[in-house]
């Protein structure tokens, strides 16, 4: 197999005030969350219920910080139409994950581009206050990055963005009829099966999501194989 895959990351911190100019320590903490979550080394993995513990996956994907670039800019809110990427283009996106940290606005925590899109907009955008220790509680433990990097690596939302029959193209994630929010009690049953509400690709609070599944691991890792959309990483 491919073994452990390491992805080098460039951070672009774009700020209009001191709070948006997140510290190096916060970026280091964010990197730790990504590495823990993608290697099943998160300290809340033991919360996975027995029904799903057998398919909680070590994705064998790691991340290293290849550089942090800081840009002061008077723009207050960047939106979700890639304006921040036009202002500060991705650096070698064929070999690096680019992450922009900025004030998105509109209550948006983050957004990502799936594999196969334009290289000029490839990467992930994070709300500055979603990083660990930020002010976006209950979304301030760094799991917005985990969720968005999941999209960047080809994962869909756990409910398939539709009703029960809509698929996320992952066999071991039970179907659901929509997102779960907050911190759902277990079991939460929809579409005649127990929702995997604790999956990183649902919409629950940061401290209520703590696993990827084996099927998601396979779907992510397929894009690194020969001919896959992120083979060049």
Residue facing ligand ARG at closest CB distance: 144
SS3 at position 50: helix
173 binds, among ligand ARG, Ca ion, none (CB under 5 to 8 A by kind): Ca ion
User: Contact between 176 and ligand ARG (CB under 6 A)?
Assistant: no
Give the nearest distance from C-beta 114 to Ca ion in angstroms: 17
From the list 129, 130, 173, 199, which residue makes contact with Ca ion (rule: CB under 5 A)? 173
Give the C-alpha separation, 146 to 139, whole Å: 12
Query: Secondary structure of 136-163 in the HEC alphabet?
Result: CCCCCCCHHHHHHHHHHCCCCCCCCCCC
User: Contact between 109 and ligand ARG (CB under 6 A)?
Assistant: yes
Give the nearest distance from C-beta 164 to ligand ARG in angstroms: 20
19 as an active site residue: the answer is no
- Is the distance from CB of 141 to CB of 128 less than 8 angstroms? no
User: Contact between 170 and Ca ion (CB under 5 A)?
Assistant: yes
Give the C-alpha separation, 33 to 42, whole Å: 7
73 closest CA partner among 63, 85, 87, 94: 87
Q: Tell me which residues in 118-147 interact with ligand ARG (CB under 6 A).
A: 139, 143-144, 147
CB atoms within 10 A of CB 37: 26
Of 19, 20, 148, 231, the active-site residue reads 148
170 binds, among Ca ion, ligand ARG, none (CB under 5 to 8 A by kind): Ca ion
User: Contact between 206 and ligand ARG (CB under 6 A)?
Assistant: yes
For residue 189, CA distances in Å to 155, 167, 177, 185 come to 22, 17, 10, 10
By the criterion CB under 6 A, which residues form the site for ligand ARG?
Answer: 109-111, 139, 143-144, 147-148, 203-206, 209
Active site residues: 148
By the criterion CB under 5 A, which residues form the site for Ca ion?
Answer: 168, 170, 173
């Amino acid at each position: 197999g491919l073994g452990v895959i390491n992805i080098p990351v460039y951070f672009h911190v774009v700020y209009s005030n001191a709070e948006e100019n997140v510290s190096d320590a916060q970026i280091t903490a964010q990197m730790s969350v990504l590495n823990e979550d993608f290697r099943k080394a998160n300290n809340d993995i033991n919360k996975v219920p027995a029904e799903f513990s057998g398919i909680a996956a070590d994705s064998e994907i790691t991340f290293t910080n290849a550089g942090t670039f800081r840009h002061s800019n008077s723009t207050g809110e960047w939106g979700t139409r890639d304006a921040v990427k036009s202002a500060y283009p991705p650096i070698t996106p064929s070999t690096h994950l680019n992450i922009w940290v900025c004030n998105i606005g509109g209550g948006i925590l983050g957004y990502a581009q799936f594999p196969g899109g334009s290289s000029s907009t490839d990467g992930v955008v994070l709300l500055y206050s979603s990083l660990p220790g930020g002010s976006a509680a209950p979304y301030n433990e760094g799991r917005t990055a985990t969720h968005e990097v999941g999209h960047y690596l080809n994962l869909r939302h756990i409910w398939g963005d539709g009703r029960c029959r809509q698929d996320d193209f992952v066999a071991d994630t039970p179907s659901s009829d929509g997102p779960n929010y907050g911190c759902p009690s277990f079991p939460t049953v929809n579409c005649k099966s127990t929702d995997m509400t604790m999956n990183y690709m649902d919409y629950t609070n940061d401290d209520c999501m703590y696993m990827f599944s084996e099927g998601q691991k396979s779907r992510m890792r397929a894009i690194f194989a020969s001919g896959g959309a992120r083979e060049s990483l």
